[in-house]
Structure 1
């Protein structure tokens, strides 16, 4: 089995690659080769099978088509221009998130083998005039360009699957926290940085009020769930390949107090509360109360608490600057 991870240089892509290297199999079959692709060649991953690295801009159809010459059986499509950048740079977001995703689906279709394609969507597809409690059947009404681009990708994923071109799955990711690394251009980036930086001895700014509610999931759980998504039989998904991953709801204030329980007062005291109207204009359109019954029925799971998220970060990803 050959596996392709598009966005393989990102933190989720790297974690999936390492998890597959340790697992050695996918859907009960031995992995024979792993292909990692990103806008720049991804870092290497040590594995008991061959690993290749590709620098590919998926918005370039010819280059995307060439990437698929590796004949993947399973594709994880994680590459995207994130929310804040997609909102500020509309054309860039459309080129990568919409045209690039179409190129991926078309390249997978051209294989003629109906590969499994796991397309990472987002809870940003929800918003606007919808009930506070979101169900699997709630109408999509994104309030950002990023959310709109992901919603279109979902529709394409379901239709390409209906036509038998691909075997698609489009899980909607909650806010992933606590992300390792450095802040990015995502509007939700602060939902990791206000924990990551203080736990690593640095200050951080929170641009929303403590009562802002978040639908969240840990990196450890999102990787586990995305791999499971590739292994679930096609018939289990029914007529809609898009669904919300399980997550939990907590306010930023509750999450900060959870960090205090695990790590004490010192990290909490490093947070500065400074409202940012640009960030607020984006994230206030997101909806935190989601009832993920389809995902739960498919056997996908969530964290037990945000305290666990803090513990996972301390175990998996913390990087304390050298003194």
Structure 2
């Protein structure tokens, strides 16, 4: 069982790597090789020392021949340019999100055409594929049956990739599974270029005694998921058998991973309950119309039926997300 993780040096890529190395198996088969691919060097020394691990650094489109020189059984495609990056640089987003995904799909297709295995490909899409259009406003609760209408280049690029993966799967080139991720919080480390990055920063930074800026109205409602829950969702979707019935993956439609719906004000109330007024006092409100436009276009309430069929459920509350972050920071053992 040879598994490829793209974007492996990112936060979720690192957590997924740890989970797979801990399990040493995937879909009932022992893992024989774990390929960690990223433009950046992988930061985890323990992972690099594991005999299962092979790191490949560079632009993914330039390294696919090397990655597929031996059969690849499963792919977790996490590599992407994030939301604010894609708004600022259209060409960057198109290359990193669409061109790279198409190249990866074609590498898997070539493998299948040569008599190799049909790679199981798990794609990390996003709730950003949804948006409210004046002619078709979002319903109060969104499900996979809701027609996507992205209001950002990032969401559009993710939706293009979803359709490509569905068609390659329909034709038998890959076994594609699409997970629409919620905003992951609380993320450790420095802020990234995602428009949603402040949703972690307004908790993470005050807990460390540092100031943070909130660019949206405190009444803004968002859909969140813990890092642990997100990784478990990816793994469950990846290993689900196809078919009908509980625990099985039916059809080609994406799966919206479970979401906790909460307002920014409720997040700060939780922060106050856990860390006091001084922590909340470190958060400054400075409206940013560009960020408000992106984040405000995303739905915040989801029907979890499809995810629940796979045994996946939302986090119990925002306090649990903060408690998990604090515990992980103290133990340095995220999973």
TM superposition score normalised by structure 1:
0.94
Aligned partners of 2:42, 2:50: CA distance in 1, in Å?
A: 18
Aligned partners of 1:162, 1:318: CA distance in 2, in Å?
A: 45
Query: Unaligned regions of 5+ residues in structure 2, if any?
Result: none
Aligned partners of 1:64, 1:212: CA distance in 2, in Å?
A: 41
Residue 67 (1) aligns with residue 67 (2): yes
Measured after TM superposition, the shift of residue 78 of structure 1 is 0.2
Measured after TM superposition, the shift of residue 48 of structure 1 is 5.5
CA contact (8 A) 2:259 2:301 kept: no
Query: Unaligned regions of 5+ residues in structure 1, if any?
Result: none
Aligned partners of 1:36, 1:317: CA distance in 2, in Å?
A: 24
State the partner residue of 2:208: 200
Residue 190 (1) aligns with residue 202 (2): no
Aligned partners of 2:70, 2:172: CA distance in 1, in Å?
A: 20
State the partner residue of 2:53: 51
Residue 278 (1) aligns with residue 290 (2): yes
Residue 32 (1) aligns with residue 40 (2): no
> For 1:154-169, what aligned pairs fall within 5 Å after superposition?
154-169=162-177
State the partner residue of 1:131: 139
Aligned partners of 1:57, 1:223: CA distance in 2, in Å?
A: 24
State the partner residue of 2:254: 242
Residue 171 (1) aligns with residue 179 (2): yes
Aligned partners of 1:241, 1:131: CA distance in 2, in Å?
A: 19
Aligned partners of 2:204, 2:4: CA distance in 1, in Å?
A: 29
Q: Paired residue for 1:232, among 206, 215, 240?
A: 240
Residue 114 (1) aligns with residue 118 (2): yes
Per-residue deviation, residues 55-107 of structure 1 (Å, max 9, x unmatched):
1312x3x5223322242211100000000000110011001100111111111
What SS is found at the alignment partner of 1:17? helix
What SS is found at the alignment partner of 2:161? helix
Aligned partners of 1:48, 1:231: CA distance in 2, in Å?
A: 23
Change (3 A) 1:172 1:15: same
Aligned partners of 2:18, 2:157: CA distance in 1, in Å?
A: 29
CA contact (8 A) 1:261 1:307 kept: no
Residue 152 (1) aligns with residue 173 (2): no
Q: Is the deviation greater in 307-316 or in 225-234?
A: 225-234
What SS is found at the alignment partner of 2:223? strand
CA contact (8 A) 1:176 1:217 kept: yes
Runs of 4+ in structure 1 off by over 4 angstroms are none
Q: Is the deviation greater in 23-32 or in 76-85?
A: 23-32
CA RMSD of aligned residues (A): 1.7
Measured after TM superposition, the shift of residue 281 of structure 1 is 2.0
Per-residue deviation, residues 3-37 of structure 1 (Å, max 9, x unmatched):
11100000000000011111221112111111100
Measured after TM superposition, the shift of residue 210 of structure 1 is 1.0
Aligned partners of 1:70, 1:93: CA distance in 2, in Å?
A: 29
State the partner residue of 1:269: 281
Aligned partners of 2:271, 2:65: CA distance in 1, in Å?
A: 45
Measured after TM superposition, the shift of residue 124 of structure 1 is 0.1
State the partner residue of 1:142: 150
